[in-house]
Amino acid sequence: MTDLLTLAATTASGLSLGITEGGSWLLRNAWLIPALPALSFLGILFFGKRMPRGGSELGIALVGIAFVLSLLTAAAWIDHRDNFEGEEVHRAVAAAEGHAAEGHATEGHAAGHPSLAVHNTVTWFELNDVTFTAGTLVDGPAVMMLVVVTLVSLLVHVYSTEYVAGDQRYTHFFAFLSLFTASMLLLVVSENTLQLLVSWELVGVCSFVLIGHWWEEKPNSDAALKAFLTNRVGDMGLIVGVTILFFTVGSALPGQFGSFSIAETNALAGAGRLSHTALLVASCCLMAAVMSKSGQFLLHTWLPDAMAGPTPVSALIHAATMVVAGVFMIARMYGVFFEGFSIGGSSINLMALIGGLTTLVGACLAFVQRDIKKVLAYSTISQLGYMVMALGVGAWTAALFHLFTHAFFKACLFLGSGAAAHAVHSFDMKSDMGGLRKHMPHTYRTFVIGSIALAGLPPLAGFWSKDEILVGTGGWGLFGGTGGNGAYTFMLVMGVTTAALTAAYMTRCIYLTFFGEFRGHGTPHESGPRIVVPLWILAGLAIVAGLLNLPKGFPLVPGSLQERFGHFVEPVAAYFPSISHGTPSWSLAIASTLVVLSGIAVAGWYYFVKVEAASKAAGESLTELPDGLTSRYPLAKMGHTFLVQKYYLDHLYTDIIAGGTKGPVAAAAYKVDQDVIDGVVNAAGENAVKAGNLVYHRFDQLVVDGIINTSGRASSGAGGELRKIQTGKVQDYAAILFAAATVLAGILIVIV
């Protein structure tokens, strides 16, 4: 059933898309931002080896310019958001009125809408009278992502000059870092789903190349392969989902059978013009893509393995940017998801459920890791689950805000772990780390700041974003409710539980890495400025980023400074569904903080009190209690094993599914090919030969040849007989002659 009100709003001058072709130069030419790193990629690829610093200087310079441009674009957007007075683009739709079916986009006159996204396209290719465009759709989320991606990328570039210094594929590393940045930027400004799909896969392949950077070692290339293949499984969903949307949208547009345009898709979905079933199926398909790209439960297994790549790559790709592409995609196509999953007014849906499960599952796994990067990887999975869950419950702004803050503190943590590992030449917290706080004070401090931000203690960044998500679930009904789009109490419980778990595993991680005594070899040293400065910049952002979106009604600042992030990032336009916002709740904030503190307290008591005491007693730096729960209770031991085995999902995927396909299934198919199909062919060939033999021996040799031979023999025999009359005697000849003449004469007489 269509919503009559929205339908009425769409008829007069076609459908409002909430986009404009106007806007300032910077917003219209946002394609420059991805173009710069792309240029850097080509430059490094072809000339990098000849540059004095192996091409890294080109990468840093161009990504730096891109960052500055992004900041300028952000400023332009802030101006545009409230002050734009341009014309909006409308789209003719296949409406009940005949006059609406006029064809292509028409310029409407409803000027002066705030928050119109800036749309700029060029023709990419044309097929069957449908023009496929490439272009940019610049709005709040896109601008936010531009800033995040260029900033983190720039810092990672700088960091990498020291981290991978001396690597034999230094130039190649920077080339692909640039290509990744370009692809990711292209993804966030994508104007249509096809372009999104293209850049989506491009970031995937960059991830593949960079995870497998040290491909001499088989585990690394295995991890790269796993990442790519898992993502490919999700991409399958993306391809199918995009296809469904293409034709579904086309059914609502006259004179055109499909459209990839994100704005059109969302606007039509939001206006209730698209079939709900199609939207639901498309959403499920797209969700598969999100699950693989953003490491959601069931398809998350590649992400921890992806830590085989160099740490800067992990920070940039597998924490701050690429893995949030899934979250961004949901945010981009929110009109589709919002309608497809009926997010408003519901209390559970697939997206929220997957997000919630992921956040718990990831957090649990983070407890049993020895490898510091894997702790962070599972933490990333868990936090991505948070974001997806937030989107699933309708807390769009909160999700993107969490994405924003998470990018900083998680990048900070990854780079910090890289700095520590760089110093001790290992990622193993239990055997090669410990006590690093004395040796690496900067790393230690920034890591702790990042951890607190991640755990979500006020006033650091993570607190604000996590709190908004919890508010957005609308599940805090016990104390009067927080509003929001539905009553997702279950999600609230999962979110709060995860908050406690997060605080606990980060405490464990900090203890194992920085406290106790150093368990490795040699003496670790603090890294140089090219590592430390990015760390501090990110740590600083991890402290302050949360302040950008202080909740409404926060007492200490004026109203004009509250919810700035939401104001500028969340679109208020036709291509975005009208979502409702939760009301911030002091009680929830306090409760969640208490939960976090309790998580820290439990883990702190275990490590800082009991393990510390046991270490002193044992005279060495222990990493766990010798008589812990797992050794005392079989059930706990089983649980531990279950976690260590990563829920056996890897066994399922690698051994059963992948191994099965590669092994028995493929072998069976090939056997069928060789034995059955080729067997038929060969049998046909052999039988043809047999038939040929038969024909040859029985027919050709006996019958056909027989006739020939017989005739030969006959003539030879006849000759033998005739030979006898040739006596050589003239009289015999004369007799024949005479006889013949007589016969001829007789014939002559008879006939004539």
Partner 1 sequence: MENLLDGWGLTVVTFSPLVGVALMLLIPRYQEDRHKLVALVTSLWVALVAVLLLIEFDIGHTDRLQFAVDRVWIDVISSHYSMGIDGMSLPLILLTVLIVPLCIVYSWNHFPEPHNPKAFLILILILETGMVGTFAAQDLVLFFVFFEVVLLPMFFMIAVWGGPNRRYASLKFFLFTLFGSALMLVSFLALFFLTGAESFVFTDLADAVASHGVSRTAQLWIFGGMFLGFGIKVPMFPFHTWLPDAHTEAPTVGSVILAAVLLKLGTYGFIRIAIPILPEAAVEWAPWIGLLAVIGIIYGALGCLAQTDMKRLIAFSSVAHMGFVMLGIATLTDFGINAAVMGMVAHGLITGMLFFLAGSMKERYHTLEISSLGGLLVQAPRMGWIFGLCAMASLGLPGLAGFWGEFPAILSAYSPANGVPVETFRTFMVIAAVGTVLAAGYLLWLLQRAAFGTPPDEFANDPHITDTSREEWIAWAPMLVLIVAIGVYPNLVFRLSDGAVDASLHQCLKVEASELTAEQARALGCADVYEISVADEHGVDEHAAVGG
Partner 2 sequence: MLLNQFLLLAAALFAIGVYGVLARRNGVLVLMSIELILNAVNINLVAFSAVRATVGGEIFALFIIAVAAAEVGVGLAMVLLLYRNRRSIDLAGIDQLRG
Residue 748 contacts partner 2 per CB under 8 A: no
Q: How many helices (H) and strands (E) does the chain have?
A: 34, 5
Helix runs in 425-528, H state only: 429-432, 436-439, 441-455, 461-472, 489-514
Q: Show the site string, 687-726: x = touches partner 2 by CB under 8 A, - = not.
A: ------------------------------------x--x
- Paired with 19 in beta bridges are 89, 117
* Contacting range for partner 1; rule: CB under 8 A; set: 105-113, 147-155, 225-233, 390-398: 225-233
Applying CB under 8 A, among 7, 12, 32, 225 the residue interacting with partner 1 is 225
* Contacting range for partner 1; rule: CB under 8 A; set: 18-26, 200-208, 308-316, 433-441: 200-208
d(CA 440, CA 527): 8
Nearest distance, CB of residue 92 and partner 1, angstroms: 10
* Residue 250's binding partner out of partner 2, partner 1, none, with CB under 5 to 8 Å set by partner kind: partner 1
Residue 735 contacts partner 2 per CB under 8 A: yes
Measured N-to-C along each axis, helices 193-211 and 262-270 cross at an angle, to the nearest 10 degrees, of 120
Q: What is the CA radius of gyration of the chain?
A: 38
Q: Which helix (H) or strand (E) holds 16?
A: strand 15-20
* Encoded amino acid at 346, one letter: S
130-138 and 89-91 beta bridge pairing: unpaired
Measured N-to-C along each axis, helices 586-604 and 489-514 cross at an angle, to the nearest 10 degrees, of 40
Applying CB under 8 A, among 6, 221, 426, 489 the residue interacting with partner 1 is 221
* Residue 723's binding partner out of partner 1, partner 2, none, with CB under 5 to 8 Å set by partner kind: partner 2
* Residue 738's binding partner out of partner 2, partner 1, none, with CB under 5 to 8 Å set by partner kind: partner 2
Nearest distance, CB of residue 236 and partner 1, angstroms: 4
Please say whether the dihedral angle defined by the alpha carbons of residues 135, 140, 145 and 148, taken in this order, is positive or negative. positive
Residue 174 contacts partner 1 per CB under 8 A: no
- The first and second tokens of residue 349, run together, are 């849906």
Nearer to partner 1, 257 or 479 (CB): 257
Applying CB under 8 A, among 129, 728, 748, 750 the residue interacting with partner 2 is 728
Residue 34 contacts partner 1 per CB under 8 A: no
624 HSE (CA, 13 A, CB side): 14
Residue 96 contacts partner 2 per CB under 8 A: no
* Residue 726's binding partner out of partner 2, partner 1, none, with CB under 5 to 8 Å set by partner kind: partner 2
Interface positions, 56-115, toward partner 1 (CB under 8 A): 94-96, 98, 100-101
Residues 6+ apart with CB under 8 A from 575: 17, 18, 19, 117, 262, 263, 264, 266, 267, 270, 335
* Residue 39's binding partner out of partner 1, partner 2, none, with CB under 5 to 8 Å set by partner kind: none
Count interface residues toward partner 1 (CB under 8 A). 61
Nearer to partner 1, 669 or 737 (CB): 669
* Contacting range for partner 2; rule: CB under 8 A; set: 229-237, 251-259, 273-281, 734-742: 734-742
Residue 743 contacts partner 2 per CB under 8 A: no
Peptide bond into 571 cis (omega under 30): no
Q: What is the 3-state secondary structure (H, E, C) of 674-717?
A: HHHHHHHHHHHHHHHHHHHHHHHHHHHHHHHHHHHHHHHHHHHH
Residue 558 burial (CB count, 10 A): 7
Nearest distance, CB of residue 242 and partner 1, angstroms: 8
Applying CB under 8 A, among 35, 71, 233, 579 the residue interacting with partner 1 is 233
d(CA 258, CA 529): 53
CA-closest candidate to residue 375, choices 463, 289, 454: 454
* Encoded amino acid at 474, one letter: G
Applying CB under 8 A, among 86, 254, 272, 483 the residue interacting with partner 1 is 254
Nearer to partner 1, 317 or 449 (CB): 317
Asked whether the beta carbons of 267 and 15 are under 8 A apart, the reply is: yes
* Residue 298's binding partner out of partner 2, partner 1, none, with CB under 5 to 8 Å set by partner kind: none
Applying CB under 8 A, among 257, 605, 699, 733 the residue interacting with partner 1 is 257
* Residue 731's binding partner out of partner 1, partner 2, none, with CB under 5 to 8 Å set by partner kind: partner 2
Nearest distance, CB of residue 724 and partner 2, angstroms: 10
89-91 and 15-20 beta bridge pairing: antiparallel
Nearer to partner 1, 243 or 583 (CB): 243
Q: Which helix (H) or strand (E) holds 132?
A: strand 130-138
Residue 744 contacts partner 2 per CB under 8 A: no
Nearer to partner 2, 257 or 733 (CB): 733
DSSP one-letter code for 99: G
* Residue 98's binding partner out of partner 1, partner 2, none, with CB under 5 to 8 Å set by partner kind: partner 1
Q: Show the site string, 674-713: x = touches partner 1 by CB under 8 A, - = not.
A: ---xx--x---x----------------------------
Nearest distance, CB of residue 495 and partner 1, angstroms: 33
Tokens 């490094």 belong to which residue? 44
d(CA 243, CA 589): 42
Applying CB under 8 A, among 25, 619, 731, 749 the residue interacting with partner 2 is 731
Residue 734 contacts partner 2 per CB under 8 A: yes
CA-closest candidate to residue 308, choices 425, 213, 203: 213
d(CA 519, CA 612): 14
Asked whether the beta carbons of 214 and 223 are under 8 A apart, the reply is: no
Residue 122 contacts partner 1 per CB under 8 A: no
Count interface residues toward partner 2 (CB under 8 A). 11
Please state, in angstroms and as integers, the Cα–Cα distance from residue 621 to each residue in 224, 615, 616, following that order.
35, 5, 8
Spatial strand order of the sheet with 130-138 comes to: 106-107, 89-91, 15-20, 117-127, 130-138
Residue 167 contacts partner 1 per CB under 8 A: no
Nearer to partner 2, 109 or 723 (CB): 723
The torsion angles phi and psi of 113, rounded to 5 degrees, stand at -70, 135
Nearest distance, CB of residue 733 and partner 2, angstroms: 8
* Residue 678's binding partner out of partner 1, partner 2, none, with CB under 5 to 8 Å set by partner kind: partner 1
* Contacting range for partner 1; rule: CB under 8 A; set: 220-228, 382-390, 562-570, 579-587: 220-228
Nearer to partner 2, 557 or 743 (CB): 743
Nearer to partner 2, 98 or 728 (CB): 728
* Encoded amino acid at 258, one letter: G
Residue 738 contacts partner 2 per CB under 8 A: yes
Asked whether the beta carbons of 576 and 117 are under 8 A apart, the reply is: no
Nearest distance, CB of residue 632 and partner 1, angstroms: 44
d(CA 476, CA 484): 10
Q: Which helix (H) or strand (E) holds 327?
A: helix 325-332
Please say whether the dihedral angle defined by the alpha carbons of residues 638, 644, 647 and 653, taken in this order, is positive or negative. negative
Asked whether the beta carbons of 187 and 235 are under 8 A apart, the reply is: no
* Residue 50's binding partner out of partner 2, partner 1, none, with CB under 5 to 8 Å set by partner kind: none
Nearest distance, CB of residue 25 and partner 1, angstroms: 25
Q: Which residues bind partner 1 (CB under 8 A)?
A: 94-96, 98, 100-101, 124-130, 197-202, 205, 208, 212, 215-216, 218, 221-222, 225, 228-229, 232-233, 235-236, 239-240, 243-244, 246-247, 250-251, 254-258, 658, 661-662, 665-667, 669-671, 673, 677-678, 681, 685
Q: Which residues bind partner 2 (CB under 8 A)?
A: 723, 726-731, 733-735, 738
